């Protein structure tokens, strides 16, 4: 029966999709599977990881990173702390900067629109390595940034050598504590190998310099996404808002932003993923220093594998990072979901279910409700 059906040619179907399946399998599924295996093995980096000399050691690598007190866990926690502050600083700022640039450049009466669009997008096209090197010079102890700060009488720090955290500096400045001798209630208890003092350091000066660079570089890319979103906004809607007497700010908040909601969701998601995976800047500029304050999970993973020769831990860090990004983006999508739309959907579903249900059930239910109340 089946084989005679001219609509169903399974063999041909598989044949046509096989190139895609093979490419995905070889370059995506197999490497991920291999990395997962390495993270569960004691592979030392010589020879094939699936040869007989390599032993399965269960979750030992994950234990060393997450459970056992030691250097591996301490370094991973430091990298999480750094990245947490990094994400907290970069994602909102780059999103807001990109949105404002897009709205400004979407103004139909702006002269030289094309020039500005190219100019703002330019940093995103230039290789991040080249930009990183440039920033190394800009933020050097006697570099351009400090010279400019000098005009205003500010004695700039030696950016990439300064490991002091911003929260520490702030507290020191307002007299809350002294960086040289931190209060004992903050140093004594330690959580996952780091004291409260270390957890609440804030991003270091060195990390802040990197954050500025990344915001500057990526804002252009996301500006492009917002510009594309704004092209879809019908002029009539905005005019209608104008007629209703809405001012500029009200139009922005009540017309533009709701219209851009899907784009904002996309930009924030991409921002989360990109910032948690940050690697290039650390590799080129700081190698995790000063005092490990620019260590990130991605760079730590690289370092564990290639410098320390601990391939299992390197792979395990990569999977832990994957889990974190997955959980965070899922949470963020759930938080930023369109509440009206999902409420509407749920209501529709409810109505459909009610219709499908036999009347008897509904009757029983109403009776039960009546009794219990």
Partner 1 sequence: MKNQKNRLAAPFAVGLASVLALTACGGDGFEDQETGGDAEEATSAEGSADLVMLIASSGEAETAAVEEAAAEWAEESGNEVEVRVAADMNQELAQGFAGGNPPDIFYLDAAQVAQQATDGNLHAYEAEDNEDYFPALQEAFTYEDTQWCAPKDFSTLGLQINTEMWEAAGLTDEDIPTTYEELAEVAETLTEGDTTGLVFSPGVDRVGAFVVGNGGWWLNEDATEPTGASEEVLSGLEYVKENMAEGSFAYAGDVDAGWGGEAFGTERAAMTIEGNWIRGAMSNDYPDVDYTVAELPEGSEGPGTLLFSQCWGVASDSEAQAEAVELVNHLSTPEQQLEFAEAFGVMPSRQAATEDYSSAFPEDAPFIAGGDYGRGPVNAPDMTQVVADLNSQLEGISSADLQQMMESFDSNASAVLEQ
279-298 binders of partner 1 (CB under 8 A): 289-292
According to CB under 8 A, which one of 63, 100, 161, 332 is a site residue for partner 1?
A: 161
Q: Binders of partner 1 among 163-192, rule CB under 8 A?
A: 163, 179-181
Of residues 102, 117, 310, 319, which one binds partner 1 by CB under 8 A? 310
Give the x/- contact pattern for partner 1 in 234-273, rule: CB under 8 A: ----------------------------------------
Decide: is 48 part of the binding site for partner 1 (CB under 8 A): yes
By CB under 8 A, tell whether 304 contacts partner 1: yes
Q: Using CB under 8 A, which of 107, 114, 142, 373 touches partner 1? A: 142
Residue 197 CB, shortest distance to partner 1, in Å, is: 13
Q: Contact with partner 1 (CB under 8 A): which of 188, 254, 308, 331?
A: 308
Exposed e or buried b per residue across 70-91, where buried means at least 16 C-beta atoms within 10 angstroms of its C-beta: eebbbbbbbbbbbbebbbebbb
Q: Please, what is the Cα angle at 293 between 88 and 89, to 5 degrees? A: 15
127 vs 142, beta carbon nearer partner 1: 142
Choice between 23 and 253, CB closer to partner 1: 23
Q: How far is the CB of 100 from partner 1 (least distance, A)?
A: 35
Binding mask 60-89 for partner 1 (x = CB under 8 A): ----------xxx-xx--------------
Site size for partner 1, by CB under 8 A?
A: 48
Kindly state whether residue 123 participates in binding partner 1, applying the rule CB under 8 A: no
50 binds partner 1 (CB under 8 A): yes
Binding interface with partner 1 (CB under 8 A) = 2, 14, 18, 21-22, 24-26, 29-30, 33-34, 44-51, 53, 70-72, 74-75, 140-142, 158, 161-163, 179-181, 289-292, 303-310
């Amino acid at each position: 029966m089946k084989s005679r059906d001219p609509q169903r040619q399974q063999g041909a179907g598989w044949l046509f999709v096989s190139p895609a399946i093979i490419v995905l399998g070889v370059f995506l599924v197999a490497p991920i599977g291999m990395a997962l295996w390495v993270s569960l093995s004691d592979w030392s980096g010589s020879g094939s990881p699936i040869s007989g000399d390599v032993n399965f050691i269960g979750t030992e690598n994950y234990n060393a990173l997450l459970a056992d007190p030691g250097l591996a866990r301490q370094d991973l926690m430091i990298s999480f702390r750094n990245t947490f502050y990094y994400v907290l600083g970069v994602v909102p700022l780059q999103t807001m900067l990109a949105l404002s640039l897009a709205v400004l450049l979407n103004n139909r009466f702006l002269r030289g629109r094309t020039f500005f669009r190219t100019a703002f997008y330019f940093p995103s096209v230039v290789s991040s390595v080249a930009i990183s090197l440039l920033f190394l010079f800009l933020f050097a102890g006697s570099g351009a940034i400090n010279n400019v700060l000098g005009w205003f009488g500010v004695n700039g720090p030696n950016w990439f050598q300064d490991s002091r955290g911003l929260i520490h500096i702030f507290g020191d400045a307002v007299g809350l504590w002294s960086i040289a001798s931190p209060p004992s209630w903050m140093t004594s208890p330690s959580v996952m190998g780091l004291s409260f003092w270390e957890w609440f350091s804030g991003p270091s000066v060195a990390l802040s310099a990197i954050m500025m660079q990344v915001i500057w570089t990526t804002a252009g890319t996301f500006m492009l996404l917002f510009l594309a979103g704004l092209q879809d906004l019908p002029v009539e809607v905005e005019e209608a808002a104008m007629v209703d007497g809405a001012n500029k700010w009200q139009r922005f908040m009540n017309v533009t932003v709701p219209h851009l909601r899907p784009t904002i969701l996309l930009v924030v998601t991409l921002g989360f993923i990109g910032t948690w995976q940050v690697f290039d800047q650390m590799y080129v500029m700081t190698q995790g220093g000063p005092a490990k304050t620019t260590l990130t999970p991605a760079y730590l993973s690289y370092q564990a594998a290639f410098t320390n020769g601990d391939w299992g831990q390197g792979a395990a860090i990569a999977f832990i990072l994957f889990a974190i990004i997955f959980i965070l983006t899922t949470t963020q999508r759930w938080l930023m979901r369109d509440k009206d739309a999902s409420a509407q959907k749920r209501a529709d579903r409810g109505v459909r279910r009610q219709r499908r249900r036999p009347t008897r059930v509904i009757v029983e239910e109403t009776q039960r409700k009546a009794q219990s109340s």
